[in-house]
Structure 1
């Protein structure tokens, strides 16, 4: 086999020139393009990773916010339930107290009404008994002489202050004495003597009949009122019964 060294050398030179040309005008631009592509891809990957990380962080933040909102909601529900329960308890307790107070008021009112009714019955019974006694005394009282009442009447009149007694029947002005029945001459004389002793002077007097006195006499002036009669005695008895009933 015969080798043509010139041909081989030229082909080698051509190959080297071709490689140089390819390296200068093809491989380097291609390398730059590949590098640029790699940088762009790396940048895209970096941006995508950053966005993914941000999305993951946002998701985690959203989940945290949701968790916080859920906790807050549960706390609000719990607080609302506690407040509602406290309000319900307070309302029930207030209603129970009101019901107890109303019940006690009703009991007290019922007791008070019963006591009032009993007192009224007792007062009515006392008045009825007094009225019956007054009617029963109408007949026997006529048998009691006026002198039987004059002693107490004279004592009561004499017990008045001196300035009051001085203004009873002054300067001959007659006074009016009420009697339970028409006086006899002896009754008038005894009454005149009693008035003279009690007032310390003689006075003019007139008499009027007042059957309501039942028995006895009464004197009423602008200065004083004196009565000694069965009516006043029965009135005192009735007052005593009323006082006893009240206590």
Structure 2
């Protein structure tokens, strides 16, 4: 009975270069999976609120690796909103000096290269990412501003202060009422007349109406007396 050669039972040998490629693809897949997990845990609105808290206080409270993923996500989102992102490669190189993809990768690497903590310019970076289109009308100026704030070496430490509940919350009705009272008080101190309540305005208008009625009646009585005296003067 003939037996099959053992070589036929084995797969073809894998070269070292192929092994490196497989390992690289596996690492990339794992890295992308981790990024997806980080992003899926935090909604886009929550990312905006976190950046707003940093922009308003100059401090941060989240794990730097997680915060770095949020910043990277927002960075790419903001850059993609500029019209240069949709132009041809030739147009991008003419206006940006490089392709759009190269620009995005460069800025993202400058952000993610911080290991121990975020750059000390984190507050300004968040301010830019939250309102980029209103601050910088074109992508080249935005890229220069971001690069300037990312090419630093000093980092920040995570804050131990209480996290702000809602740093951008609009004042409620109670706060608005207190503000109106303060404005009225300031106006009175400066010599300005304070605002009058609606009921008081109605009463004032009623008083003025009564006075006008009385004056009208007096005027009509006086006019009637003059007309009565005129025939007597003619007869005389």
| TM tier, smaller | under 0.3
Using the size of structure 2 for normalisation, the TM-score is: 0.23
The higher-RCO structure (CA 8 Å, 6+ apart) is 2
Structure with greater strand share of residues = 1
Higher helix share: 1
Higher Cα radius of gyration: 1
